[in-house]
Amino acid sequence: MITEYNSQPTPKTELELDIDRLSYGPYGIGRSDGKAIMVPHSAPGDRVIARLIETKERYAVGEIVTVVTPSALRQIPACPYVGDCGGCTWQHIGYPEQLKAKQQSVADALRRIGKLDNFDLKPIIASPSAEHYRRRIRLQVSAVKRLGFFSGGSHHVVEIDNCLIAAEPLSAAIAPLRTWLDKIAATIDHIEIASGDEPGQTVVIAAANDRLNSSDEALCAKLASSPNAIDGVIVQAGEWRKTWGQPAIAVQLQDDLALKLDADTFTQVNAAANRLMLRELMSAAGFAKADRVLELYAGAGNFTLAMAKQAGEITAVEGSRSAVASGKLNGQRNGIDNIRWNCAPVPRALAQLKQQRQTFNKIVLDPPRIGAKGIEADIAALGAAKIFYISCNPTTLARDLAALSQSGFKLQSVQPIDFFPHTFHVETLAVMTR
């Protein structure tokens, strides 16, 4: 007996929806029969026909078939790659509405995930610029040496000639980089371009699959020395690393304070917003000579040096050896000698400090997006009266603040700052006391 199966796909459900808000993510949210429908590229106030592409128990994901009535909050994106490139998923929405949605994302995470209340959520501080604000971008290289960004939800590379949110020196480097890629024999996985706060500081950081041969090294030397938009080249392949030209950049923190470090050391992408965050931290913490401060995830000293100029003593914990080396060197350059650098993973360093019965009266931490889960008990054991938690992810921030609240701390205030216009990402400074 032959059984015939219908090989045609089941037609996907289409719904007419009113989009009422943005989520923490690339989606607008509508509702159907009480279920949240998440629709990318939509805006609050849109009426859309959406086709469901994924259905879960509590929510579904759709895609726009037609915008029946466009929202008054929509704007025409200035970037020609919107819709193809996977970045800037909110560029079709006016900047004031983006800020409003980010403020709400922080509030929702703290109250719904963290179950936190009775704190001061301050109005979000806008990025000083919504365009050309990034001093660092990461470009992907396809198998046929196309250079650009991944398309949303895929590894398809969308070729670009410039980027609306990148600082202008970064976009100027793309054309000579494309020529270099065509000539080089090595396989390059991705390329970062970083620029400093001083002229002549545009550096290429390329991730190669193996050490370069002599011909490729000559091409790197030529790229860094030619009269083009690139001042330095760094190529890395596992533990192998080589530089050409000028690989260092300057990061201006305050009028009288700057970092100088190799461009492949982590720095915040939005220079002006980073200075705003530093200003807010210094104001909230009010460091004084009597303070013994512990800084976790210190990086290369983005906050460390400014704090050390006011506090009595800083213990700075950072897992990256190159970042610690940069931090030490910049302390020497700026005549700062009250920083104790501890190059170790944060959990291990905290356990050691606890075992040594070390105490601090203020703790500052700026973890990666995954947050600082599981260290709250050791933090609480160090005796600090105040915690200043800087975060780029409201979800993990809410989780960690909730854990700290169970260890005796109380959330006092949260200050959102927009480092990433046209995306859903947002930075925050949370202050806790006990």
Catalytic residues: 392
- Strand, helix or coil for residue 111: helix
User: Residue 301 in contact with residue 317, Cβ under 8 Å?
Assistant: no
User: Residue 218 in contact with residue 233, Cβ under 8 Å?
Assistant: no
Residue that the structure tokens 């990148």 belong to: 166
Both tokens assigned to 424: 């859903």
Q: What is the DSSP letter of 270?
A: B
Nearest to 134 by CA among 376, 327, 419, 384: 419
Which residue type does 331 have?
G
| DSSP assignments along 129-158, one per residue | -SSS-BSEEEEEE-TT--EEEEBTTS--EE
Both tokens assigned to 5: 């199966």
Angle at 196 between CA 130 and CA 257, to 5 degrees: 100
Both tokens assigned to 197: 């706060």
Nearest to 28 by CA among 93, 125, 115, 110: 93
Dist. CA 127–CA 271, nearest whole Å: 10
